[in-house]
Amino acid sequence: MFSNLTIKSRLLFMISFLSLLLIGIGIYGLYGMAKSNEGLRSVYEDRTVALGQLDIVVRKLQSNRIANANAIMTPTPENIQKSTAEMEENIAAISKTWDAYMATTLTPEEKILADKFAEDRKRFVVEGLKASISALRSNNVKEAEHIVETKIRPLFVPVREGVNALIKLQLDEAEKEYKASTERYTSTRNIAITIIVAGVLLALWSGFLLLRAILGPLGTAQEVAGKIAAGDLSSNIVIHHNDEVGKLLHSFKSMQDALSSLVKEIQTVVNASVQGDFSKRLDLSNKQGFGRAIGESLNQLSDTTNTGLSDVMRVTNALAAGDLSQKITQEYPGVFGQTKTGVNNTVDALVKVVAEIQQIVEAAAARGDFSVKMDMAGKQGYTKTLSELLNQLSDVTDTGLRDVMRVSNALAVGDLTQSISKDYPGLFGETKDGINATVENLKTLVNEIKVAVEGINTGSKEIAQGNQDLSQRTEEQASSLEETASSMEELTSTVKQNAENAKQANQLAIGASGVAGKGGAVVHQVVGTMASINESSRKIVDIISVIDGIAFQTNILALNAAVEAARAGEQGRGFAVVAAEVRNLAQRSAAAAKEIKTLIGDSVDKVEGGTKLVAEAGSTMEEIVTSIKRVTDIMAEISAASSEQSAGIEQVNQAITQMDEVTQQNAALVEEAAAAAESLEEQAQNLSQSVSVFKIDNSGNRTSTSRQIAAPTETAMAPRRATTPARSAPKPAKAASDTDEWQEF
Burial category of 476 from C-beta neighbours within 10 Å (exposed 0-12, middle 13-18, buried 19 and up): middle
Q: Is residue 679 part of a domain?
A: yes
Question: Per-residue pLDDT for 526 more than 70?
Answer: no
Asked if residue 572 lies in contact with residue 566, where contact means CB atoms within 8 angstroms, the answer is yes
Closest CA to 735 of 468, 472, 481, 470: 481
Q: Is residue 371 part of a domain?
A: no
Q: Is residue 635 part of a domain?
A: yes
Q: How many domains does the chain have?
A: 2
Q: Is residue 717 part of a domain?
A: yes
Total-model pTM = 0.31
pLDDT score of 438: 85
CA-based end-to-end distance of the chain: 123
d(CA 296, CA 293): 5
Domain of 576 in residue numbering reads as: 427-744
Closest CA to 684 of 441, 464, 469: 464
Answer with the one of 222, 249, 278 that is the final residue of a domain.
222
Q: Is residue 241 part of a domain?
A: no
Give alpha helix (H) positions in 321-425.
334-367, 382-412
d(CA 565, CA 325): 148
84 or 40: which leads in pLDDT: 84
pLDDT score of 356: 73
- CB count within 10 Å of CB 293 equals 12
Answer with the one of 170, 192, 222 that is the final residue of a domain.
222
d(CA 396, CA 374): 15
Q: Is residue 704 part of a domain?
A: yes
d(CA 165, CA 167): 5
* 213-264 confidence digits (pLDDT tens): 777 777 777 777 787 777 777 777 777 666 666 777 777 777 777 777 777 7
pLDDT score of 585: 66
d(CA 538, CA 544): 10
pLDDT score of 119: 92
Q: Is residue 641 part of a domain?
A: yes
Answer with the one of 188, 222, 256 that is the final residue of a domain.
222
Asked if residue 681 lies in contact with residue 461, where contact means CB atoms within 8 angstroms, the answer is yes
**Considering only 39-43, 116-120, 645-649, 729-733, which range has the smallest mean pLDDT?**
729-733
Question: Per-residue pLDDT for 118 more than 70?
Answer: yes
Per-residue pLDDT averaged across 594-613, rounded?
72
> Residue length, the chain?
745
d(CA 579, CA 407): 127
Mean pLDDT of the chain: 74
* DSSP sequence for 106-163: --HHHHHHHHHHHHHHHHIIIIIIHHHHHHHHTT-HHHHHHHIIIIIHHHHHHHHHHH
Question: 563: domain CATH number?
Answer: 1.10.287.950
* 666-680 confidence digits (pLDDT tens): 766 766 776 777 777
* 466-516 confidence digits (pLDDT tens): 777 776 777 677 677 667 767 766 776 776 777 677 677 667 767 766 766
Q: Which residues, at least 6 apart from 110, have a Cβ–Cβ distance to it below 8 Å?
A: 166, 169, 170, 173
d(CA 484, CA 653): 9
Count Cα neighbours of 148 within 13 Å in the Cβ-side half-sphere.
20
Q: Is residue 726 part of a domain?
A: yes
